[in-house]
Amino acid sequence: MKGNKKVLKHLQKLLNGELGARDQYFAHSRMYKDWGLNKLYERINHEMEEETEHADMLIERMLFLECEPDFNQQDKARVGKTVPEMLKNDLDVEYEVVDALKAAIKVCEDEQDYDTREILVKLLDDTEMDHAYWLEKQLGLIDRIGIKNYLQSQM
Amino acid sequence: MKGDPGVIQQLNLCLKDQLTSINQLFLHARMSKDWGLEEFNEHEYKDSIKAMKFADKIIERILFLEALPNLQDLGKLLIGEDVAEIVKGDLDMLMGLRSNMVETMKVCEDARDYISRDILEHMLEEVEEQIDWRETQQWLIENTGLQNYLQSQTGDE
């Protein structure tokens, strides 16, 4: 089924974001593992899998809408050097994804592509309530319990 | 069965205390959850549910005594802005609640309403446990340091 051009443009932009986020989580999760921060590794590895699932949903939708997803425009991964910096970079990505999703949802609504909209709302829920909220809590904990205690609790 | 008016008045006061504590403990639970303190959240949440069960017992007793339980009145909530303040606010609230309970038990005894007294006595034991838990947390905060204490309350999601 032929998709709306405006909607497809947004889907490509979202795919770029999800792929970039996936690689960033990939890098960060392996760094945590290398440092012995196994709890962080497990959580961020799980985030990486979720971003892959998100990308999958976008790709399948684009193919159904008779458009070829472009895998060569993905956003750059912003790899941090310290744990707070890594968490902060991840949170920045999630905030950007939230903005992009909201913009895309509006376009879907305007163009009456309600099924794409429904898929994006599911992604927005994951992005806001799961990913971003968890990252905000970690940065809050670092402030409250101190970085050393925080790192110890993530071993 | 018609109840003693003095007892009913006191029971309504205890009901008001419980209704207030449901809200205070519940808000504290969810604030600490928002801060990533899962274990602390769990404790406050359970106490809030317990307060609701206590309120239920008092409501049923007042109805049995052919009077109207008052659910309109709510006391002032002592909401803290950080964990130390939360523990202090809960402790102050629970101490006030306890002294009203003890006073009510005396009124029950004088009016020979032994069953109302017995219901309160069961609650009193649990309330004192709740007070004890808060005093323990204060000791821990003081002796392990706030940051270490908070770390121990992060728990798993």
What total number of domains does chain B contain?
1
pTM across the whole model: 0.83
Chain B positions touching A149 (Cβ under 8 A) are 147-148, 150-151
Rounded to the nearest integer, the mean pLDDT of chain A is: 96
Residue B27 CA to residue B33 CA, distance in Å, equals 10
CA distances from residue B102 to A106, B71, B91 in whole angstroms, order as listed? 60, 21, 16
B19 in reach of chain A (CB within 8 A): no
Domain that holds residue A34: 5-67+83-153
The answer to whether A137 contacts B147, with C-beta atoms less than 8 Å apart, is no
Q: Which CATH number do you get for residue A115?
A: 1.20.1260.10
Q: Which CATH number do you get for residue B116?
A: 1.20.1260.10
Average pLDDT over residues A76-84: 97
Nearest-neighbour CA in chain A from B147: distance (Å): 4
B154 in reach of chain A (CB within 8 A): yes
Residue B100 CA to residue B97 CA, distance in Å, equals 5
B75 Cβ contact partners less than 8 Å away, ≥ 6 residues apart: B16, B17, B20
Q: pLDDT at position A84, please?
A: 98
Is residue A78 one of the residues assigned to a domain?
no
**Using one digit for the tens of pLDDT, what is the confidence trace for A21-72?**
999 999 999 999 999 999 999 999 999 999 999 999 999 999 999 999 999 9
Q: pLDDT at position B155, please?
A: 80
B118: number of Cβ within 10 Å: 11
User: Token match 């193919």: residue?
Assistant: A63
Query: Looking at chain A, which residue has its C-alpha nearest residue B155?
Result: A153
**Chain A interface residues facing chain B, Cβ-Cβ under 8 Å?**
137-138, 140-141, 144-146, 149-150, 152-153
Polymer length of chain A: 155
CB pairs under 8 A between A and B: 28
**ipTM for the assembly:** 0.72
Run of H or E residues at B27:
helix B5-34
Interface test with A, best of B151, B152, B153 (most A CBs within 10 A): B151
Is residue A72 one of the residues assigned to a domain?
no
The answer to whether B34 contacts A146, with C-beta atoms less than 8 Å apart, is no
Nearest-neighbour CA in chain B from A33: distance (Å): 19
Query: Looking at chain B, which residue has its C-alpha nearest residue A43?
Result: B157
Nearest-neighbour CA in chain B from A116: distance (Å): 31
Check pLDDT > 70 for residue A74: yes
Run of H or E residues at B116:
helix B114-144
A73: number of Cβ within 10 Å: 12
Is residue B39 one of the residues assigned to a domain?
yes
Residue A62: exposure state from Cβ atoms within 10 A (0-12, 13-18, ≥19): buried
Q: Please, where are the H alpha helices in chain A?
A: 5-34, 38-64, 83-110, 114-125, 133-145, 147-153
Per-residue pLDDT of chain B (157 residues; tens, 9 = 90+): 899 999 999 999 999 999 999 999 999 999 999 999 999 999 999 999 999 999 999 999 999 999 999 999 999 999 999 999 999 999 999 999 999 999 999 999 999 999 999 999 999 999 999 999 999 999 999 999 999 999 999 986 5
Average pLDDT over residues A129-138: 95
Domain that holds residue B34: 5-152
Amino acid sitting at position A116: T
Q: pLDDT at position B1, please?
A: 87
User: Token match 């207030």: residue?
Assistant: B20
> Can you state the percent helix, strand and coil of chain B, rounding each to 5?
80, 0, 20
Check pLDDT > 70 for residue A148: yes
Is residue A77 one of the residues assigned to a domain?
no
What total number of domains does chain A contain?
1
Q: Which of these, A98, A94, A99, A87, lies nearest to A43 by C-alpha position?
A: A87
Q: Which of these, A124, A14, A117, lies nearest to A70 by C-alpha position?
A: A14
Is residue B157 one of the residues assigned to a domain?
no
Q: pLDDT at position B157, please?
A: 58
